[in-house]
Amino acid sequence: MKICISGMTASGKTALGHMLAKELNVEHITKFTLESFHKATEDAKSKKGSHLDVVQAISGRKFAKRFDDELVELARSRKDFVVTIWLGPWLIEDATLRVWLNAPIDERAKRRAKDMKITIKEAKEMIEEKDRQNIRLFKEIQGVDITDHSIFDMELNTSKLSLSQMVSLISMLALSKEKKIFA
């Protein structure tokens, strides 16, 4: 089974993906799984780049295309996984289940502020900018409008459900679609 989870910045993709993959005993594919991500960040760091240089290295068109191609190839070579990469649901054509996560911007800012030890205001500004950039970049490079959620099987508000509740809901639907239960 191939479960693709997406959502805006700090919506809870990685945390949910980790817990879901553990529950289903499958691989969790994140940006950190992909070699192109490591290569781009290492190259920027080796040039004594700042954090901004690293961010720019992984935001360019050349990187994005290489990253997306690597994700598609990896997905073709695997049978069962949870992927928590922004464009995963659009790029993995044979996904069993596509899930969009949303949460109010203030909730996402609180999460990011806590993780990065910055103010909520700083986190909110960072998230809004990253979301704007990604919406534009994904439209330009892949022709994907990430604000159109019509391809998704399920949308969850991560501010209203616990991780365990979301894992239960997604697991039940994915297994049902795979006809492993409720047939």
- Identify the CATH number of the domain in which residue 71 sits: 3.40.50.300
Whether residue 37 is predicted with pLDDT greater than 50 in this model: the reply is: no
Whether residue 183 is predicted with pLDDT greater than 60 in this model: the reply is: no
Domain assignment present for 110 = no
DSSP string, the chain: -EEEEEESTTSSHHHHHHHHHHHHT-EEE-GGG-HHHHHHHHHHHHTT--HHHHHHHTTSHHHHHHHHHHHHHHHHH-SSEEE--TTHHHH-TT-SEEEEEE--HHHHHHHHHHHHT--HHHHHHHHHHHHHHHHHHHHHHH---TT--TT-SEEEETTTS-HHHHHHHHHHHHHHHTTSS--
Domain assignment present for 18 = yes
Domain assignment present for 183 = no
Domain assignment present for 20 = yes
pTM of the full structure: 0.83
Q: What is the pLDDT of the chain when averaged over all its residues?
A: 84
> What's the domain count of the chain?
1
What local confidence, expressed as pLDDT, does residue 48 receive? Answer: 55
Strand partners, 156: 101
Q: Which of 129, 173, 166 is nearest to 15 (CA)?
A: 166
The tens digit of pLDDT for each residue in 42-101 reads: 555 555 554 444 444 445 566 667 767 777 888 888 899 999 988 999 999 999 999 999
What local confidence, expressed as pLDDT, does residue 35 receive? Answer: 57
Reported as a pLDDT band with limits 50, 70 and 90, residue 22 is very high
Domain assignment present for 41 = yes
What local confidence, expressed as pLDDT, does residue 54 receive? Answer: 42
What local confidence, expressed as pLDDT, does residue 156 receive? Answer: 98
Mean pLDDT along residues 95-118: 96
What local confidence, expressed as pLDDT, does residue 76 receive? Answer: 84
Whether residue 142 is predicted with pLDDT greater than 80 in this model: the reply is: yes
Domain assignment present for 135 = no
What is the extent of the structural domain holding 98?
A: 2-104+149-177
